[in-house]
Amino acid sequence: MKTHNTILITGGAGFIGSNLCEYFLGLGYKVVCLDNFSTGHHHNLKDFIADDNFKLIEGDIRNIADCIEAVQGVDYVLHEAALGSVPRSINDPITTNDVNVSGFLNMLVASRDAKVKRFVYAASSSTYGDSEGLPKVEDVIGKPLSPYAITKYVNELYADIFSRTYGLETIGLRYFNVFGRKQDPKGAYAAVIPKFVMQLMALESPLINGDGNFSRDFTYIDNVIQMNALAIATENPEAINTVYNTAYGDRNTLNNLVDYLKEYLSEYNAEIASVEIVYGPNRAGDIPHSLASIDKAKKLLGYDPKYSLQGGLKEAVSWYWNNLK
């Protein structure tokens, strides 16, 4: 890979974005980070903020001027900026739409006008909605079940139009339940894995929504990094202007997840093994089961995920114990 290419990572101070910043700086890329720090954190940038190849722009994708500034001289865009969380979108659909749809469109327009080579964006498994078939295959989706899911589907529609109408190369990565180092365990909308880890470390009982038999294709951050790198690198015309499942290709129930967490965390504190689990009502907008087919990514991008749920959890648990205990 060329070392003089410049990548813009929107939401670069967030969980996935900061991991991508670190990875591409390590490869010798110049990296621009655009973030408004609504959900991202300065401490996620501390290991590379002083790197000469790193530039931070504190701005908002809802402001077109910030988007235009950020794409200047950029070869690739990795668009990670979004307001995640199904419950947040149900509580505040207007802000979710403003960020995820209007902000996304701003970034597409700015990238088109700056003649960015390729626009790779975070899509979502929530796009599959009420489609019941497993595994999830990219070209078979259902009706969205939340405002968040609608916004992520609209992203795919806009990206497709910009590819067809303006010739902007786009690749969407439908993330499936990403977890790993730097994922924020705090706040009302914290993802389930870091939230459970912190509760177990404090010897508090995690609350599972439902009976724990809902299943997910949990995807470790390094698998996601690999997909973003492949999306930037590919020169296969068939691999561009489409969407890919970004997952491991296996599913585990929430009960399985908690069992693994208790097992791995109890190596640090034996008391964690005896923490009881609490069950509550199902959450509105949740998809019961999620499992990705990763055949398309394997075939067209050469995707080869290295981390299963268990392998990723061992890494994540170690990071949380050493950084947040």
Whether residue 138 lies inside any domain: the answer is yes
Whether residue 213 lies inside any domain: the answer is no
Note the pLDDT of residue 4: 64
| Matching residue, tokens 């907008």 | 285
Whether residue 314 lies inside any domain: the answer is no
How many other CB atoms are there within 10 angstroms of residue 260's CB atom?
A: 19
Residue 303 carries which side chain, given as an amino acid letter?
Y
Q: What is the mean pLDDT of residues 217-221?
A: 98
Whether residue 190 lies inside any domain: the answer is no
List the helix and strand counts (H, then E) for the chain.
11, 13
Residue pLDDT, tens place only, 153-174: 999 999 999 999 999 999 999 9
Q: What is the mean pLDDT of residues 186-214?
A: 93
Whether residue 94 lies inside any domain: the answer is yes
Question: What is the model's pTM?
Answer: 0.96
DSSP-H helix ranges across the chain: 15-26, 64-70, 86-91, 93-97, 103-113, 147-166, 192-201, 221-233, 254-265, 295-301, 309-324
Q: Is the separation of the CB atoms in 246 and 173 below 8 Å? A: yes
- Give CA–CA dist 287/254, Å, rounded: 13
Residue 219 has pLDDT above 90, yes or no: yes
Residue 1 has pLDDT above 90, yes or no: no
DSSP for 254-316?
A: HHHHHHHHHHHHTTT-GGGGGPPPEEEPPPTT--SB--B--HHHHHHH-------HHHHHHHH
With cut-offs at 50, 70 and 90, classify the pLDDT of residue 293. Answer: very high
Whether residue 320 lies inside any domain: the answer is no
Q: What is the mean pLDDT of residues 65-87?
A: 97
Q: Please report, rounded to a whole number, the percentage of residues in the chain having pLDDT higher than 70.
A: 99
Residue 240 has pLDDT above 90, yes or no: yes
CATH, residue 292: 3.40.50.720
Helix (H, G, I), strand (E, B) or coil at 24: helix
Number of separate domains in the chain: 1
Q: What 3 state SS string does 225-243 have?
A: HHHHHHHHHCCCHHHCCEE
Q: Is the separation of the CB atoms in 223 and 306 below 8 Å? A: yes
Q: What is the mean pLDDT of residues 208-227?
A: 96
- Give CA–CA dist 105/123, Å, rounded: 14
| Matching residue, tokens 């499942």 | 245
Q: Please report, rounded to a whole number, the percentage of residues in the chain having pLDDT higher than 90.
A: 94
Catalytic residue among 128, 148, 244, 303, which? 148
Residue 30 has pLDDT above 70, yes or no: yes
Helix (H, G, I), strand (E, B) or coil at 149: helix
Whether residue 40 lies inside any domain: the answer is yes
The question of whether 148 is a catalytic residue gets the answer: yes
Q: Which of 237, 60, 255, 89 is nearest to 163 (CA)?
A: 237
Note the pLDDT of residue 304: 98
Whether residue 206 lies inside any domain: the answer is no
Q: Domain residues for 117?
A: 6-180+219-249+288-307
Strand 118-124 versus strand 278-280 pairing type: unpaired
